[in-house]
Amino acid sequence: MMVNDYPTDDELYEIETYDTVKDGVKGLVELVQALWIYPDYFKLKGKRTMYLELHTGGWSGHEDVIYYLKKNYLFWSLSWRMSKAGGHYYFKLSHGHGKNRMNPEQEKKNTQTRPEANN
């Protein structure tokens, strides 16, 4: 749990080492959201493809989270799209396969409407 509203070393380490291939991107996004103290500066948009906007607001705790997201090579290299001066970061979160899906309800609907494959 955060100490004095700042992410702990353990939380930052979890961000850095989070395996988005094995565990999917959803859990990492939820972890970041739990650590983001300004909710208006955390924006998750989209349905099929999700877009994440993180705005640090100049707060050093948010800057620490961004630093450790950058150290998570898989997440950063696959999801980062743009950064702007002033602490603005933009990501595209694709569904991928398995646990990478950001919107499991939509996937359920898609699965229910697909015809069974012939074996």
**pLDDT recorded at residue 114:** 44
Lowest mean pLDDT among 1-15, 18-32, 60-74: 1-15
Radius of gyration of the chain (CA): 16
Q: What is the pLDDT of residues 32-51, one digit of tens each?
A: 999 999 999 999 998 888 99
24 domain residue, yes or no: yes
pLDDT band at 101 (very low <50, low <70, confident <90, very high): low
**Sequence-ordered alpha helix ranges (H) in 72-103:** 73-79
Number of Cβ atoms within 10 Å of the Cβ of 32: 24
Its domain, for residue 78, covers: 9-109
Number of domains composing the chain: 1
Q: Answer whether residue 93 is part of any domain.
A: yes
**Residue 23: pLDDT over 70:** yes
Q: 100 falls in which pLDDT band (50, 70, 90)? A: very low
Is 4 inside any structural domain? no
